Amino acid sequence: MNNHTPPFDSSAFRRALGMFATGVTIVTARAGDGTPVGMTANSFNSVSLDPPMVLWSLAKSARSLPVFHAAEHWNVHILANEQNDLANRFARAGEDKFAGLSLEPALADAPFLAGCSARFQCRTVFRYEGGDHIIFVGEVVGFDRSEMAPLLYVSGEYALATRLASPIATEVTGAADASAEPAPFTEQLLGYLLGRAHYQFMWGFRRTLDELGISHGEFFVLSLLAVRAALDADQITAHTAYTGIAADTALLSAMRARGLLSASADPAPRYALSPAGHAASRRVLAAAHAVEAALVEQLGGREAAGLRNLLKHLIRASDPGLPTLWGASA
């Protein structure tokens, strides 16, 4: 019989714990000499509603341990999704974590940070030994919240919270046949979802494009030249070819003839928006912004932030090597 227990794999334990998604907090207190301390903690949790109590746990190795041990009050800041830099700052040892931060007045002396999703002002009521951590239980003496979407932490990485979407209404085209091949075209197909979302979005401001008599290709050129001044035809093509729409010299000449573009002298003219082109671009952008604002209103700010984040990932992952649109010279 083998009585040996397998050696405990603490990094596997950490990775398993990392599957429990949490928010991210900064917990702060003030030393007797007035020095502020604070640290990033995701061990925060609710304990009791009546009386209101919360907990978090602090590593015995933390430099701030003696201060939290002695402090009667501490504040828990639930970080907003734009505060990941602050989370990193308060997770690092050896720097002035509070440098440049403006603090807000609080009920007690613990530092009170701004711009968070929620804040709990607490008074220590219990402290428990918890292995290599100390568990602090606090009575909540004050709290507030904002509409800022919270920052999450899962599998060792920061993340955003988005609601699970309900299925898109689809037509049922007959009884399911268990022996049939899985349908090649389903609601889960990323290409379908992206394409449909794109065209439904465009639908909302297509009327403005039609009113201005602006084609799809011209719309791309207008949008490009609204952020990049004076490009030649090759540069414009390099930016727009991925759309499958040829922004060739014929299209550019036609836009010039209609007064939407101005061009420098041949042989390699550089195109820019004319005053009329700028006006058209502003009208289209205003219509697109209105569609976006209505959608964000429906989706909610949190979903919109999550969607922007995912789309940026997708654009980075699928980039065939396009020139940089913003912040680069021609």
Residues that bind ligand FMN (CB under 6 A): 24, 39-43, 56-59, 62-64, 87, 91-93, 153
Residue whose CB is less far from ligand FMN, 159 or 299? 159
Burial tier of 102 (Cβ tally within 10 Å: 0-12, 13-18, 19+): exposed
* Least separation in angstroms between CB 38 and ligand FMN: 8
* Least separation in angstroms between CB 141 and ligand FMN: 21
* CA dist list (Å): 225 to 264, 272, 315: 14, 6, 20
* Least separation in angstroms between CB 55 and ligand FMN: 10
Residue whose CB is less far from ligand FMN, 63 or 207? 63
* Least separation in angstroms between CB 39 and ligand FMN: 4
CA terminus-to-terminus distance, the chain: 74
Residue whose CB is less far from ligand FMN, 47 or 59? 59
* Residue 203 near residue 216 (C-beta atoms within 8 A): no
* Residue 26 near residue 86 (C-beta atoms within 8 A): yes
CA distance 299 to 292: 10
Residue whose CB is less far from ligand FMN, 64 or 117? 64
Task: Determine the Cα angle at 265 with ends 264 and 271, to 5°.
Answer: 30
Residue whose CB is less far from ligand FMN, 93 or 325? 93
* Least separation in angstroms between CB 49 and ligand FMN: 22
